[in-house]
């Protein structure tokens, strides 16, 4: 059952099942990729961006505290990281390039394929965090030619607590969890069989339905966005009009604080966030929006609305009605001096 699940997960990114290492989730996969790559290298330089998920930002901050050089590339106003800027700082001292394929907050899809050839030539590993992208857009490790790739089960409909790391056969990484020869010696510990089986089933379902499901989700998201724009004057969309995930909408609501909107919407049964899902409970302004050039006030007034396989048209109709009503109520009650000050 474990090996059948491994084959199902491998298929969604077009690789050999032997290259899939099961982990406890995307966070562990990112940590294993980063610390595992650095441990076996004598080089001290890592390249990333300013808009990565916290499970990349935090390991890099820890390595920086240990004396490693971390270069963080700034995005443009749509959240795109220019591959040419990465190539400009990529040199023989670089051990690892670690970047997300699709941003978790605004949905921008990055052009990472141009990086592989140079990384290979100079001996740096290329790690791609594809947790947000896999199952929503076609992802193929051969096309991207990456050495390491992070996958997350619950993004596809599996339970939380299961993930995977693709490890190219030529890539050397050290384990970060010790205690046994599990997962080809890369990750010790008794495998989460139920999680892996669920991950495999979700991956197979997502792969089989990807074409139609992406179109369905994109249609629902477009309908919601159009109706919210019509109902809320001054609403701002954060992210590119094209080249983004179909399910992710990030909006700046005028005249309100995002946390006030979040709480009020939660009481009405509408689930949104102020950043990635892993930022639940956080009220700090989004580091992604700040890196994209938004002001603190704009970032504090923004929310991410993320659609998934379980969402139906009826829910979009309800959200399109509830969100403007909640915005008007919060805007009327929100002290404008407090909104401006933040």
Helices (H), the chain: 2-12, 26-39, 54-65, 83-89, 116-122, 141-144, 193-231, 258-267, 287-291, 296-300, 313-333, 336-341
d(CA 175, CA 32): 7
DSSP class of 67: T
Of the residues 89, 116, 218, 278, which is catalytic? 278
Q: Are 220 and 249 in contact (CB under 8 A)?
A: no
- The dihedrals phi and psi of 34, each to the nearest 5 degrees, come to -75, -55
Axis-axis angle for helices 54-65, 26-39 (nearest 10): 30
Q: Are 177 and 22 in contact (CB under 8 A)?
A: no
| Partner residues linked to 73 by β-bridges | 49
As a whole number of Å, the end-to-end CA separation of the chain is 52
278 is catalytic: yes
Q: Residue 99 has which token pair?
A: 């970047």
d(CA 154, CA 81): 26
DSSP class of 310: T
| Partner residues linked to 128 by β-bridges | 99, 149
Helices (H), 104-242: 116-122, 141-144, 193-231
Active site (catalytic) residues: 278
């Amino acid at each position: 059952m474990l090996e059948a699940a491994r084959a199902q997960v491998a298929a969604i990114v077009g690789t050999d099942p032997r290259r899939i290492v099961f982990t406890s989730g995307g966070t562990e996969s990112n940590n294993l990729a980063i610390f595992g790559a650095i441990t076996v290298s004598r080089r001290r330089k890592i390249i990333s961006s300013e808009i990565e998920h916290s499970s990349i930002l935090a390991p890099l901050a820890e390595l920086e505290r240990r004396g490693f050089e971390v270069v963080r590339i700034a995005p443009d106003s749509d959240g795109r990281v220019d591959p040419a800027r990465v190539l400009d700082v990529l040199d023989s001292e670089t051990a690892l390039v670690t970047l997300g394929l699709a941003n978790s907050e605004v949905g921008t899809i990055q052009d990472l394929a141009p990086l592989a050839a140079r990384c290979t030539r100079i001996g740096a590993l290329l790690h791609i965090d594809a947790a947000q992208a896999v199952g929503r857009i076609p992802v193929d490790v051969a096309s991207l030619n990456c050495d390491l790739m992070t996958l997350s089960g619950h993004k596809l409909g599996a339970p939380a607590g299961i993930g995977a790391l693709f490890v190219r056969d030529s890539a050397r990484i050290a384990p970060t969890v010790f205690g046994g020869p599990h997962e080809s010696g890369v990750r010790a510990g008794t495998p989460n069989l139920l999680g892996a089986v669920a991950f495999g089933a979700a991956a197979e379902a997502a792969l089989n339905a990807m074409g139609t499901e992406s179109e369905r989700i994109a249609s629902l998201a477009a309908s919601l966005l159009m109706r919210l724009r019509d109902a809320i004057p001054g609403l701002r969309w954060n992210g590119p009009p094209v080249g983004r995930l179909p399910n992710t909408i990030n909006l700046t609501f005028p005249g309100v604080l995002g946390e006030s909107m979040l709480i009020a919407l939660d009481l009405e049964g509408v689930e949104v966030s102020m950043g990635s899902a892993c930022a639940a409970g956080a009220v700090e302004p989004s580091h992604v929006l700040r890196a994209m050039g938004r002001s603190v006030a704009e970032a504090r007034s923004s929310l991410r609305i993320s659609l998934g396989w379980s969402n139906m048209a009826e829910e979009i109709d309800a959200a399109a009605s509830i969100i403007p009503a909640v915005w008007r109520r919060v805007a009327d009650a929100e002290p404008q001096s407090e909104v401006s000050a933040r």
